[in-house]
Amino acid sequence: MHTSDKLVLKYPASWHGDMWREALPSGNGTVGVAVLGSIKQETVIINHNRLWHWGRKDELPDVGYKLKETRALMDENRFLEASWNLTNALREHGYGTTLEAPMPLADLKITMPCETGFKNYLRELAVDTGEITVAWQDENNEYKRQVFVSRADDIIVCRIRAIHEVKADIELDVHRDERNQVPERFRETAGTKRYEVDSKDGFICYGITHEDGTDCGVVLKVIAGDIRKSGNCLKAESGGDILILAKVFVQGCFNESCAEIRKVLDAIDMDYDTLLERHVNIHRPKNCKKKKRG
């Protein structure tokens, strides 16, 4: 792969206050993730293209009678007044249509040991594959986290690997901003959070209720040598890799969607590299077409 097909950063988003705009994005056209790239506590923001909120659409009132007045204002060079004339008339009629805003679905939190200083940090997005890699070294180990959103299987895939033993606490939670607070506009929806943790089979089921009354959420499966429950997180340990598979649901029912997706994730019997290859076979041709059009 040419270096021009990679976006390479040598610092985590935390160096810019963990602002979401500093994250590296990946997606399959429907589900998207944004990876902040922190070492000790990684945040992967998860979203879906059908999740919007706070929108309002009113019937447009007839304010055509204001057109003559607006033209007269323009003839008098009163352009500022003219520009607001129709808008103010709409407000007088109670018209309050507002654009919808993207609604973050969840934050995937991955907490890992970080007792000493680190070096050789790297955070990169391979545009050709849609894969995000975060890598670093500490005194005794070398780590790498890789994430992509599969076009072939419509799941989020994350691999955590190390030369020696790897440990990670894995959790799903409501989205928080760079001050680690739930955004005010999202607090009411965040208060509907539902959560189930199953350490026996390695599942976390997370859901919230959308403003339209339907449920949306994420079902996550952890595959590792040892998995234990601790509060709302799964503590995973492995002598090799930790694999995380996650699938998003929208406009559904929490219990039914979680049960259905658990079956889907249980049926996946492929390693990270196989899942990536299946995804790249679809992603790469689409990316090449975009380059040619550009």
Whether residue 113 is predicted with pLDDT greater than 90 in this model: the reply is: no
Q: Both 124 and 158 in a single domain? A: yes
Same structural domain, 40 and 66:
no
Rounded to whole angstroms, the Cα distance separating 150 from 1 reads 19
Averaged pLDDT, 48-65: 87
* Dist. CA 85–CA 53, nearest whole Å: 29
Tokens (6 digits) for 12: 């985590």
Q: Is the pLDDT of residue 1 over 50?
A: no
Q: Which are the contacts of 225, defined by CB distance < 8 A and separation ≥ 6?
A: 237, 238, 239, 240
How many whole angstroms separate alpha carbon 288 and alpha carbon 279? Answer: 14
Selected residue with higher pLDDT from 286 and 40: 40
Domain endpoint, select from 66, 97, 128: 97
* pLDDT tens readout for residues 171-219: 999 998 878 888 887 888 889 999 999 999 999 999 999 888 999 999 9
Per the structure, the complete domain to which residue 31 belongs is given by: 3-53+105-293
Residue 291 to residue 149: CA distance in whole angstroms: 20
Tokens read off for 269: 């019997």
Looking at residue 5, its pLDDT comes to 86
- Which of 69, 97, 125 terminates a domain? The answer is 97
Angle in degrees, 0-180, between the axes of helices 79-92 and 67-75, rounded to the nearest 10: 160
At 141-167, the pLDDT tens digits run 999 999 999 999 999 999 999 998 999
Q: Tell me the whole-structure pTM to 2 decimals.
A: 0.85
Residue 16 above 70 pLDDT?
Answer: no
Secondary structure (DSSP) of 164-223: S-EEEEEEEE----TTSS--GGGHHHHTT-EEEEETTTTEEEEEEE-TTS-EEEEEEEEE
Same domain, 160 and 242: yes
Kindly report the average pLDDT of the chain as a whole number. Answer: 91
